[in-house]
Amino acid sequence: MTAAIIFASNKLGVVHDDQMQLMLDKFNLGKLISFQKTVNGAMGQTMYVSSNEGEFILKGNPLYPGQFIEEKYFIENIHKRTNVTVPTPYLIDDSEEIFGWSYSLMPCLQGEHMNSEHLKITLSTADKFKIAELIAKTLADLHSWKVTRFGELDTNNLNIAAFEGSYTIWLYNRIKFWLEDAKKYSVITDEDLRWANLLMEDSKEAFDDFTSPSFVMGDFKPGNFLIHPGMNSWEISGLFDFTNSYFGDPISDLIKMITIYLDNGEAELASHLLKVYFDGSEEKEALKKRIKVHMLHQRVLDWGCAKAMNMVTWDNELPFSHWVESYTNSVASLLE
């Protein structure tokens, strides 16, 4: 289930003080001071909880069976295998006695989101380059967790369930599925489909030849990590929300940050991120082909969502293929 695209969640509903205190009592975490919904919550699933023993994040009412088991597995492995800061210990209460739904509880990490209103106006150009560098190094550290098969976690046995057919088939089928889905809310022409299919066909060999799957967060974006001014410089002080994680091509995790930089007119930051991440890699042509398909994958999701919710921020009459091609060309040019 890790690799599924989820657009909606089960809300927490009304939570009372006595319920929160029962939860804290269960884990010997002190007396309740306060609690409130998080500003950047994981699809309405999270609450900030403060007690005289510390500050915590409650994540409740799972989106699917095994969500918290899965997240605990990823967090514990990232903590063990990398230097990336994650919220550990990650506690789980499988019973529904207190809230009417199961939940997890984790420490609240220090820092703030890089897209906070405060940081938007205070970060210098040098700060932004440093943060782009930190993002690249954090992703490279995450992706050092290599595995032997492409797939997603089976929470019944904590083994990797291989994607049906191959990774290439799985990825291409997802793109085709979301292209068809986008037709419900927007115009996707035969020309758009031909363009997408040609791009995928041109990149197929590069994907078929890629045989080194690694951990993929699946949703690396400003809302899912925190930055903090350390003793000497900025640091990424926490990474969280592994609901969409799986094992595949790690460069797919670069796409959301590259897109944000491009949309903000900060191509130089995207270029710096890529330069640090790839650190002189020589397989440029294969990388270009794969990263263009990953950009197509993300942009078709963004296109369909924006059209469905009437939240288009670009020329609404622009054909899909023209819109996406500007991004696929841009990301490829950054690797020159």
What is the band of 330 on the pLDDT scale with cuts at 50, 70, 90?
Answer: very high
Position 10 scores a pLDDT of 57
pLDDT tens per residue across span 128-176? 999 999 999 999 999 999 999 999 999 999 999 999 999 999 999 999 9
pLDDT digits (tens, 9 = 90+) for 63-114: 889 999 999 999 999 999 999 999 999 999 999 999 999 999 999 999 999 9
The burial of 150, by beta-carbon neighbours within 10 Å (0-12 exposed, 13-18 middle, 19 or more buried), is given as buried
pLDDT of residue 13: 83
What is residue 7's predicted lDDT score, i.e. its pLDDT?
A: 45
Phi, psi (deg, nearest 5) at residue 216: -125, 120
pLDDT tens for each residue of 228-260: 998 888 999 999 999 999 999 999 999 999 999
pLDDT in the model for residue 2? 53
pLDDT at 42 over 60: no
Secondary structure in 3-state letters for the chain? CCCCCCCCCCCCCCCCHHHHHHHHHHCCCCCEEEEEECCCCCCCCEEEEEECCEEEEEEECCCCCCHHHHHHHHHHHHHHHCCCCCCCCCEEECCCCCCCCCEEEEECCCCECCCCHHHHHHCCHHHHHHHHHHHHHHHHHHCCCECCCCEEEECCCCEEEECCCCHHHHHHHHHHHHHHHHCCCCCCCHHHHHHHHHHHHHHHHHHHCCCCCEEECCCCCHHHEEEEECCCCEEEEEECCCCCCEEECHHHHHHHHHHHHHHCCCHHHHHHHHHHHHCCCCCHHHHHHHHHHHHHHHHHHHHHHHHHCCCCCCCCCCCHHHHHHHHHHHHHHCCC
Q: In which band, very low, low, confident or very high, does the pLDDT at 40 lie, cut at 50, 70 and 90?
A: low
Give the chain's mean pLDDT: 94
The fraction of the chain above a pLDDT of 90, given in percent, is 88
Structure tokens at 165: 């057919």
The burial class, CB within 10 Å (0-12 / 13-18 / 19+), for 57 is buried
Question: Do the beta carbons of residue 56 and residue 47 sit within 8 Å?
Answer: no
Percent of the chain residues topping a pLDDT of 70 = 95
Q: Which of these ranges, 27-41, 120-134, 190-204, 212-226, has the smallest mean pLDDT?
A: 27-41
- CA-based nearest residue to 75, from 140, 142, 8, 132: 142
8 A C-beta contact, residue 70 and residue 155: yes
Tell me the mean pLDDT in the region 42-50: 82
> At residue 336, does pLDDT exceed 60?
yes
The answer to whether the CB of 161 falls within 8 A of the CB of 154 is yes
pLDDT of residue 6: 46
Bridge pairing between strands 46-51 and 32-37:
antiparallel
- pLDDT at residue 43 in the model: 56
Which of 191-202 are b and which e, b meaning 16 or more Cβ less than 10 Å from the residue's Cβ? ebbebbeebbee
User: What confidence score (pLDDT) does residue 146 get?
Assistant: 98
In Å, how far are 113, 122, 258 from 117, measured between CA atoms?
9, 9, 20
- pTM across the whole model: 0.93
What pLDDT digit, counting tens, does each position of 277-306 carry?
A: 998 776 889 999 999 999 999 999 999 999
